[in-house]
């Protein structure tokens, strides 16, 4: 195959001609290389990467340990499908994840390919275990683009469009958001209202929650809410599922976001940064719940691919040996301080929030009304790019700019990024 030489007009025309309109590309760039916390476009211009493949590259682009592990496995066995015959990387990685999530208890793992598959299979497992149909998710949550994933997702655009009808027996309740006046108490009242008016708790198989809402706006769950949710789930025999697809593997300063609250989920879904850029996801959970589906009920052709599993084992080594949990905390503190100073400088910043290195800025038109300003958020993103930093937005109203910088970024890179944010916000306001 011949790789075409591309100028900007050429590749953009090819993209428009050959790629479906529904596949959005946030930045008009053709990237050719990545290393650590930086990427380069076809013209050789360098950017600080505050997207990280949308939370996929916690250990950075092309980490040599991950590249070497994948290459070594590729020379041995690239694919066979675990449902045909077993291979060592799948088993070894399951052992590692069970120990990390289960902390010495009896846990089991099933591997899949995408985050949406992990979500769907977690629901299958919960329904098999409880023999109940209902699932409770949260407004503002994001859980994938499949039919069930869209049904579980608590926002309409752009994910649901006219793609319905959606899967039945899914109920959405309020997610705590102190900035918008939704306290823990109010969110718990909303859940009780769901039980009273929509589905009785003894018909609910699972409650699915992100410890920090990702696409919904980087909203951390208050610890007291998670503790009470755990109590309610236990009382009613409901499977509590922690969606750690974006929060996992050090992003929040701990290996998993739920660990900040001290609770113990029944099932945990993981993907994104698990395999350093290769497609791999998993459901990790209490053994007696994971074993509810009969043999043949779980799996997938590419699920637990040996190359991806080998890369994931290297990712876990890097996180431990390079102390990336500590680095996540340090990045988070530096971003919180830097973004906090920008909030004091610019009245259009309604809130700076996050957990660990998972940080975001919410833009509003007016500090008193807190009216969402998606247009300003987009202008900020465009000006960030012009000054050498890539970021994307989130939030139900798309007025939040998020930071998903790889955890290998050094302090100088973060300092430079905050300065770029300062310039970009000033320019966006003036535009």
195-234 pLDDT, tens per residue? 999 999 999 999 999 999 999 999 999 999 999 999 999 9
- Which whole number is the average pLDDT over 240-247? 98
pLDDT tens across 83-110, in order? 999 999 999 999 999 999 998 899 999 9
* Rounded Cα gap, residues 375 and 80, in angstroms: 48
Cβ neighbours of residue 36 closer than 8 Å, sequence gap 6 or more:
60, 61, 62, 63, 406, 408, 409
Give the pLDDT score at 89. Answer: 98
The pLDDT of residue 1 is above 80: no
Cβ neighbours of residue 250 closer than 8 Å, sequence gap 6 or more:
58, 273, 319, 324, 325, 327, 328, 356, 357, 407
Q: How confident is the model at residue 367 (pLDDT cuts 50, 70, 90)?
A: confident
Q: How confident is the model at residue 420 (pLDDT cuts 50, 70, 90)?
A: very high
Question: Which residues sit opposite 212 in a β-bridge?
Answer: 220
**Poorest-pLDDT segment among 20-29, 91-100, 345-354:** 20-29
- Which whole number is the average pLDDT over 17-26? 93
Give the pLDDT score at 3. Answer: 54
Give the pLDDT score at 7. Answer: 74
* Rounded Cα gap, residues 48 and 222, in angstroms: 31
For all residues of the chain together, what is the average pLDDT? Answer: 96
The pLDDT of residue 6 is above 70: no
User: What is the CATH topology of the domain spanning 8-59+323-430?
Assistant: 3.90.1150
| Residue 210 φ then ψ, to 5° | -90, 130
Give the pLDDT score at 431. Answer: 86
User: With the CA atoms of 260, 249, 107 and 139 taken in that order, what torsion angle do they form, in degrees rounded to the nearest 10?
Assistant: 60
Domain ranges of the chain: 8-59+323-430, 65-321
Give the pLDDT score at 160. Answer: 86
| Residue 400 φ then ψ, to 5° | -120, 135
Contact 166, 147 (CB under 8 A): yes
DSSP three-state, residue 219 = strand
Domains 8-59+323-430 and 65-321 share a fold: no
Give the pLDDT score at 156. Answer: 82
Give the pLDDT score at 5. Answer: 55
| DSSP letter (8 states) at residue 399 | -
* Rounded Cα gap, residues 351 and 367, in angstroms: 9
Question: Which residues sit opposite 243 in a β-bridge?
Answer: 269
pLDDT tens across 148-182, in order? 999 999 988 888 888 889 999 999 999 999 999 99
CATH architecture of 65-321: 3-Layer(aba) Sandwich (3.40)
Provide the token pair at 362.
Answer: 């919410």
Answer left, alpha or beta for residue 300, where phi above 0 means left and psi between -120 and 50 means alpha.
left
Give the pLDDT score at 162. Answer: 87
Contact 39, 388 (CB under 8 A): no
**Poorest-pLDDT segment among 103-107, 172-176, 188-192, 405-409:** 103-107
- Which whole number is the average pLDDT over 311-339? 98
């Amino acid at each position: 195959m011949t790789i075409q030489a591309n100028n900007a007009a050429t590749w953009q025309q090819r993209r428009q001609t050959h790629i479906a309109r529904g596949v959005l590309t946030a930045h008009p760039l053709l990237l050719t290389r990545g290393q650590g916390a930086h990427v380069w476009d076809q013209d050789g211009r360098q950017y600080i990467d505050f997207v990280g493949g949308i939370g996929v590259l916690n250990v950075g682009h092309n980490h040599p340990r991950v590249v070497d592990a994948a290459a070594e496995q590729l020379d041995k066995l690239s694919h066979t499908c675990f449902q045909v015959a077993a291979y060592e990387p799948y088993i070894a990685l399951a052992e590692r994840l069970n120990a990390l999530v289960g902390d010495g208890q009896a846990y089991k793992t099933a591997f899949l390919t995408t985050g949406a598959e992990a979500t769907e299979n977690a629901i299958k497992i919960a329904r098999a275990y409880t023999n109940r149909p209902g699932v409770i998710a949260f407004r503002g949550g994001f859980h994938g683009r499949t039919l069930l994933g869209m049904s579980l997702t608590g926002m309409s655009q752009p994910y649901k469009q006219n793609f319905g009808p959606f899967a039945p027996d899914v109920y959405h309740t309020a997610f705590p958001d102190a900035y918008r006046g939704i306290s823990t108490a109010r969110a718990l009242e909303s859940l009780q209202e769901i039980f009273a008016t929509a589905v009785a708790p003894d018909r609910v198989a699972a409650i699915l929650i992100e410890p920090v809402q990702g696409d919904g706006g980087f909203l951390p769950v208050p610890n007291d809410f998670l503790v009470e949710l755990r109590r309610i789930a236990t009382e009613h025999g409901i499977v509590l599922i922690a969606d750690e697809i974006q929060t996992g593997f050090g992003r929040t300063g701990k290996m998993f976001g739920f660990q900040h609250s001290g609770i113990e989920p029944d099932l945990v879904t993981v993907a994104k940064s698990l395999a350093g850029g290769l497609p791999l996801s998993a459901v990790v959970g209490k053994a007696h719940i994971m074993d509810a589906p009969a043999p043949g009920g779980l799996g997938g052709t590419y699920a637990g691919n040996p190359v991806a599993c080998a890369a994931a084992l290297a990712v876990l080594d890097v996180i431990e040996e390079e102390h990336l949990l500590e680095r996540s905390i340090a990045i988070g503190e530096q971003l919180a301080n830097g973004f906090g100073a920008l909030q004091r400088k610019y009245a259009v910043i309604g809130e700076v929030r996050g957990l660990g290195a998972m940080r975001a800025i919410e833009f509003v038109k007016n500090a008193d009304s807190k009216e969402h300003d998606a247009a300003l958020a987009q202008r900020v993103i465009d000006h960030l790019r012009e000054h050498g930093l890539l970021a994307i937005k989130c939030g139900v109203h798309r007025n939040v700019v998020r930071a998903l910088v790889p955890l290998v970024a050094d302090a100088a890179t973060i300092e430079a990024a905050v300065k770029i944010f300062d310039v970009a916000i000033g320019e966006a306001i003036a535009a």
